[in-house]
Structure 1
Amino acid sequence: MQLSSRGRQMSRPSGIRSIMEDIAAAGRDTDASEWLNLSPGNPSHIPEVVAAWRRLTREALDDRFVESSTRYGPSRGNSGLVEAVADYFNLTYGWSIGPENVVVGPGSQMLSFIATTLFTGPDSDGLVQPLVLPRLPDYTGYQGLGLDPSGIVGLEPVVVPEGRHSFHYAVDTEALARQMRMGMMMLSNPANPTGSSVEPSELKALIETAEQRDVPLVVDHAYGEPFPGVVQTWCAPVMHSHVINLFTLSKAGLPGERIAFAIGPAELIDPMVSFIANSVLHAPQLLQAAVERSLRTREIDALTTQYIKPYYKAKRAMAEELLAKAMPDSMDWRLHSSDGGMFCWLSIDHDWFDDLELYELLKRKQVFVVPGRHFFIEPLTTPFLRTHGKRCIRLSLSSDEWAVAEGIGRLGEALEELRMNARDGE
């Protein structure tokens, strides 16, 4: 049976799918406990956070099971949660939003897909107005959002060195100004994979562009304020007529429950509500009650400030120290400076280095990382993408400390091995 053009677009293989299948296969091995998984973005099981969500879920089960799990609910989200979201953000940031500015969805990935489908694609002249990712590298999941070929455009960043072993990316505002076709812009803040927050001047330029082109700017706060808040510099979300903000409970401890919400102007949120009604009906309801309770009591703030944020701050400091010791000093390697997040993003700038070769070598050493190319836009044909785009890797900080430490040690060994192999082949 033949797939449609959109079916072919949405069923195409992806790098991240192959990696997740590798990890699943490793998990079925009898020696699975020996694998060091520095790959996926699954949040750590912080005991206090796990205990809190278990209790909140049990309370929701006891008090709300019948109304939540045995009945259909509103597509916008349960009224209690929608009102709690509005109250929480009004109190926290001084906003003046109401239920009409909120929609609850089954995960921020789905909300991203909904927004992309609504605001991008062929226009009246048949030309595709694409999703523009203005700050590569960015979350690899965005690359699967477009229903149309050539429906996603990624803008290459400006690479800014910061000493011998550090660097950061900046938004190329000139390239942004030259990008004439766009239906929507999107970025994660702080960024997955780098952990960097968008600079105020960069955000200002993005919002001005959204206004000029009359398109939405979707800002995904999966790792940012107000929860899980794994950032060291305070970066409050912005309420604006051309901005849709996405928030998720995944990195605050509930990745498997697929609860997220979007906040924005009512004229942008209302079509998203209709999309949910026409597709999945509504998000899972029982956990909406648990999230509502966490917002009403502000327990979510305690989990963020007392446990989640300090945990990842300490993990990042530990990883930086381990990398400084394990990475060969004679190599041109750089760690992206970070405001937070749950990852380390490394660039190894040598002709002999290839991210997929390192990935395969580390698998033989029973370590999983993510090749950097998956966070750029295929095809990797420009000079920048052919080189830098294949010379980066992402390390997750979510595994136990011993696994991160051992994995970084094996990374250093693998890099030395790659370099020696390249010399032997000359």
Structure 2
Amino acid sequence: MILSRIAKKLTRSNGIQSLMEDLGSAWSGSTENIAFLGGGNPAKIPEAEKIYRSAVESIITSGGTLESLLGDYTSPIGSDETRELTAAYLGKFFGTTLQGNQIAFFNGSQNAYSFLLNSFSGTMEDGSFKKILLPVVPEYIGYADQTWEENVFYANLPIVEKTTPHRFRYKLDKTNIPWETIGCVALSRPTNPTGNVMENEDVDWLYTESRKNNIPLLIDLAYGNPFPNLIGEKEPTRWKPGMILSLSFSKVGLPGVRLGIIIADPEIISVLSSFAAVGNLAVGNWGQALAKVFWKEDSLPQISKNILRPYYANKLQTALEIIEEIFAKNKVQYSIHEPEGGFFLWIHFPNLPISNKELYQICKKENVYIVSGHYFFPGLTAQFSHTQECIRLTYCRDRKEIVRGAEIIARIVSRTAN
């Protein structure tokens, strides 16, 4: 069988495929002795699920609504009515007034990013070749294999700032960015995998430079404001012309709904509508129906504030205490990126004698699932030890899983270091 170049690219080993396959295989048998610390599945929180169930029930009991949801196509990027309602509702959270033609719905924000990244990178209509600037790597594992052309990422090496003996933070390096080669800027805030919430002054600098070069600034808010709003005390992101913001229902606890929301200038929304028509025909109906309920009841920001943020803050504190105690007992050399948002801990093992990919394989044999950090640096050509010395863990799992995982990781790292 002869595959196309694009198919060959997608079928080779990649990070997002590895992550999702681990998720499936981990739960295919007994889960008694598994520590699944790799995935980004949101926790199932009864208080939130009760509200979501009520929203679904209200949709089902509305006369004629269910039949329309199941039996009718909507437009490629959502109904005009729902887009208008969404613009009116979300504008207040982003410090602006939005119109319906600035909103588009997709079958998850991952779906939208596939269209966006390919719109602004690769071979352009004027024959030039443009790259996607990742201003602070590591960045989200799901971006790396979205593009149809090769070598389209430019990874900007971060400044590493030590904050405490066992904490550090990545910062934006504003020097030597080749703006003339860049077609768009993409970042997640907070960043998956590190939990880094880029300072607003740095976001403003990127915005200014993007405007100077007439390129869009894409900001992925999957874990950001206004929901699930896992950004601690950091200032929320605001929308400005030339920005493209993406939101998702996944991390509030509704990954199965597959609804992504894009906020952008009308001309960009028009481009995305063409992609969506060809790629999807139409966006799903259920997410839009839930959105209308959530906007009417103003429920998601309150769920985020009163349920999600306290829940995940408690999970984070528990995980940190467990890992710090076990790593100290095993004399593990480590440093954790300041966890400012998201679901994950990004752990650096300085002078790790094996690669993080080898560490992942050894852990997997003991039913401890982690994510090797080497996947999170697409486009990086400079030497950077963190590419081989970091792993990502979710802190959302049960205490016993985190204990077991931390003990096995500590044993492997301390053993290989001696």
* Secondary structure of 1:377's aligned partner: coil
After TM superposition, the structure 1 stretch with the greater mean CA deviation from structure 2, 257-266 or 87-96, is 87-96
Corresponding position of 2:396: 398
> Partner amino acid for 2:204?
K
Residues 114-137 of structure 1: CA deviation (Å, up to 9, x unaligned) = 111222220245442122211100
Would the aligned equivalents of 2:160 and 2:171 in 1 still touch at CA under 8 Å? Answer: yes
C-alpha separation between the residues in 2 aligned to 1:275 and 1:357?
A: 39
C-alpha separation between the residues in 2 aligned to 1:179 and 1:155?
A: 12
* Secondary structure of 1:44's aligned partner: coil
* Secondary structure of 2:247's aligned partner: strand
C-alpha separation between the residues in 1 aligned to 2:403 and 2:6?
A: 43
Q: CA deviation at 1:294?
A: 0.9
Q: CA deviation at 1:368?
A: 0.7
Corresponding position of 2:110: 109
> Partner amino acid for 2:21?
E
Residues 393-420 of structure 1: CA deviation (Å, up to 9, x unaligned) = 0110222233223322332222222223
C-alpha separation between the residues in 2 aligned to 1:34 and 1:392?
A: 24
1:68 aligns with 2:83: no
C-alpha separation between the residues in 1 aligned to 2:352 and 2:102?
A: 50
- Identity %, equivalent residues: 27
Corresponding position of 2:132: 131
Q: CA deviation at 1:351?
A: 4.5
The equivalences for 1:48-87 within 5 A come to 48-63=47-62, 64-87=65-88
1:154 aligns with 2:192: no
The equivalences for 1:278-297 within 5 A come to 278-297=278-297
Would the aligned equivalents of 1:80 and 1:292 in 2 still touch at CA under 8 Å? Answer: no
> Partner amino acid for 2:218?
V
Corresponding position of 2:34: 35
Q: CA deviation at 1:179?
A: 4.3
> Partner amino acid for 2:396?
S
C-alpha separation between the residues in 2 aligned to 1:124 and 1:108?
A: 26
> Partner amino acid for 1:296?
K
Would the aligned equivalents of 1:197 and 1:235 in 2 still touch at CA under 8 Å? Answer: no
CA spacing shift, 1:278–1:364, aligned 2, 3 Å: closer
Would the aligned equivalents of 2:141 and 2:375 in 1 still touch at CA under 8 Å? Answer: yes
> Partner amino acid for 1:151?
V
Q: CA deviation at 1:113?
A: 0.9
Q: Which runs of 4+ in 1 moved over 4 A?
A: none
Q: CA deviation at 1:255?
A: 0.7
Normalising by structure 2, what TM-score?
0.94
Would the aligned equivalents of 2:78 and 2:104 in 1 still touch at CA under 8 Å? Answer: yes
* Secondary structure of 1:335's aligned partner: strand
The equivalences for 1:232-243 within 5 A come to 232-243=232-243
* Secondary structure of 1:414's aligned partner: helix
* Secondary structure of 2:157's aligned partner: coil
- Which consecutive residues of structure 1, in runs of 5 or more, have no partner in the other structure? 421-426
C-alpha separation between the residues in 2 aligned to 1:311 and 1:288?
A: 27
Q: CA deviation at 1:238?
A: 2.0
Would the aligned equivalents of 1:194 and 1:343 in 2 still touch at CA under 8 Å? Answer: yes
* Secondary structure of 1:32's aligned partner: coil
C-alpha separation between the residues in 1 aligned to 2:312 and 2:348?
A: 21
* Secondary structure of 2:175's aligned partner: helix
C-alpha separation between the residues in 1 aligned to 2:395 and 2:79?
A: 34
C-alpha separation between the residues in 1 aligned to 2:197 and 2:13?
A: 30
Alignment: residue pair count? 415
Would the aligned equivalents of 1:225 and 1:234 in 2 still touch at CA under 8 Å? Answer: no
Q: CA deviation at 1:206?
A: 0.9
> Partner amino acid for 2:2?
Q
* Secondary structure of 1:142's aligned partner: coil
* Secondary structure of 2:230's aligned partner: coil
Q: CA deviation at 1:153?
A: 2.1
C-alpha separation between the residues in 2 aligned to 1:26 and 1:318?
A: 23
1:143 aligns with 2:136: no
Q: CA deviation at 1:42?
A: 0.5
Would the aligned equivalents of 1:343 and 1:395 in 2 still touch at CA under 8 Å? Answer: yes
> Partner amino acid for 1:36?
A
* Secondary structure of 1:137's aligned partner: coil
C-alpha separation between the residues in 2 aligned to 1:294 and 1:22?
A: 33
C-alpha separation between the residues in 1 aligned to 2:342 and 2:52?
A: 21
The equivalences for 1:21-420 within 5 A come to 21-29=21-29, 31-63=30-62, 64-124=65-125, 126-176=127-177, 178-328=178-328, 330-377=331-378, 382-384=382-384, 387-420=385-418
Would the aligned equivalents of 2:166 and 2:336 in 1 still touch at CA under 8 Å? Answer: yes
C-alpha separation between the residues in 2 aligned to 1:305 and 1:172?
A: 32
Would the aligned equivalents of 1:60 and 1:287 in 2 still touch at CA under 8 Å? Answer: no
CA spacing shift, 1:381–1:135, aligned 2, 3 Å: closer
Would the aligned equivalents of 1:122 and 1:128 in 2 still touch at CA under 8 Å? Answer: yes
- Which consecutive residues of structure 2, in runs of 5 or more, have no partner in the other structure? none
User: Considering only aligned residues, what root-mean-square deviation do their CA atoms show, in Å?
Assistant: 1.8
Would the aligned equivalents of 2:15 and 2:142 in 1 still touch at CA under 8 Å? Answer: no
C-alpha separation between the residues in 2 aligned to 1:77 and 1:19?
A: 30
C-alpha separation between the residues in 2 aligned to 1:65 and 1:248?
A: 23
C-alpha separation between the residues in 2 aligned to 1:279 and 1:21?
A: 24
Would the aligned equivalents of 1:355 and 1:371 in 2 still touch at CA under 8 Å? Answer: yes
* Secondary structure of 1:144's aligned partner: coil
